[in-house]
Amino acid sequence: MPGPEAMQRQLVQQQTGEVFMEWLAENWFSVLIGIVFVGMHMFGHGGHGGHGGGGHGGHSAPDKSENDPDRRSGHRH
């Protein structure tokens, strides 16, 4: 049979777990949003191409189209 200190420690752990589960049940949506936020910033799939630019599929500047007036043609006088 466990001693009084072990029983008290077990009771405190049980109460702590119950408090955490109650807090999680009340705040599950905020926790989910936080996980999604961190995941998108770590893996760079948040629509801004990730941090650092190079490596795995960073977005580069688009080529100028042929109808762009700022585009230089090869023809010179």
Please spell the DSSP secondary structure of 6-71, one letter per residue. Answer: HHHHHHHHHHHHHHHHHHHHHSHHHHHHHHHHHHHHHHT-SSS--SSSSSSSPPPPPPPPTT-TTS
The pLDDT of residue 25: 95
Whether residue 28 is predicted with pLDDT greater than 70 in this model: the reply is yes
**Per-residue model confidence as pLDDT tens digits over 6-21:** 888 888 888 888 999 9
Q: Over the stretch 32-64, which tens digit does the pLDDT of each residue have?
A: 999 999 998 888 765 555 555 555 555 555 555
Q: How many CB atoms lie within 10 A of CB 50?
A: 19
pLDDT score of 22 more than 90: yes
